[in-house]
Amino acid sequence: MSPQVDKAKFGRQIATFRGNSIELRTWVLIIIPGCLLTLSSYIYGMLLAGDAYQQHGPALALIRVRSWFIFATILLVILAAYILYHLLLSSQRFEIFENGIQYRSFFLRRHAYYWSELSGIASSATRITFFGKDIRTIPSGVIYLYTGKSIELTNKFQNIPHLVEILKSKIYPLIWPTLKSTFRSGGTAQFGRLTLTREHLQIAKKRIPWESINRLRAESGFLVVELHGDSDQQVPIADIPNIELLLQFVDWGIQT
């Protein structure tokens, strides 16, 4: 849709998800040390310049201080750009309405889509480990549009898991009847790289007859296709939109 949005057409607002503000650890590990390093570089340069000025005059003082001032200025520019980047990220908004979604992107441009324009959603969680221990989980998601475009839901928004769950509760009831009806009439059900027909499951270009499949399961960020007498096939869950509906198809019964 056009960025010129008539909010009245989207109905009541259900939820708002703000952009992530600068985290405490970012202040402690990056911004504050960066400020101290920049300030100390300027101060040290001034001290060198004062000492050189008294002993050798202004020409040598300028030579002594120049490299430190250049270094400090480069640090200041990098630090300012880093802070500005995070301030722009925190200004983003993702709003959910009765009739669709609206979000304000990095460059403050507003985008709006009705539920009928969204074809699905995929989600995943990346675990950050340190010496074998999980220290952080970074959730993410992708909203797919019927136009072929997509909207990335990275950790730039707060509470991504809750945002994804609300979106699924709105999108799935709209697309499930159409998927089921198309499949029943002999058509295909598309889930990203996976295609379902009554005869087979197709992963990219590989077709696997249903009688060769033992079961499908979600495990450790992958959809695992267990095969009779052959090695299992794995597809990243992040690449599969509407995975819950895919699994529901299997539970519902492919031959139904």
Q: pLDDT band at 14, cuts 50/70/90? A: very high
Amino acid found at 99: N
Question: Of 114, 117, 134, 116, whose CA–CA distance to 126 is shortest?
Answer: 134
Rounded CA-CA distance 149/143 in Å is 9
Q: What is the pLDDT of residue 2?
A: 46
The full 3-state SS of the chain, as one line of letters, equals CCCCCCHHHHCCEEEEEEECCCCHHHHHHHHHHHHHHHHHHHHHHHHHHHHHHHHHCHHHHHHHHHHHHHHHHHHHHHHHHHHHHHHHHHCCEEEEECCEEEEECCCCCEEEEEHHHEEEEEEEEEEEEECCEEEEEEEEEEEEECCCCEEEECCCECCHHHHHHHHHHHHHHHHHHHHHHHHHCCCCEEECCEEECCCEEEECCEEEEHHHEEEEEEECCEEEEEECCCCCEEEEHHHCCCHHHHHHHHHHCCCC
Q: pLDDT band at 4, cuts 50/70/90? A: low
Query: Whole-structure pTM over 0.85, yes or no?
Result: no
pLDDT digits (tens, 9 = 90+) for 192-220: 889 988 888 999 888 998 888 888 888 88
pLDDT digits (tens, 9 = 90+) for 117-138: 999 999 988 777 777 777 777 8
Tokens standing for residue 248: 């529901």
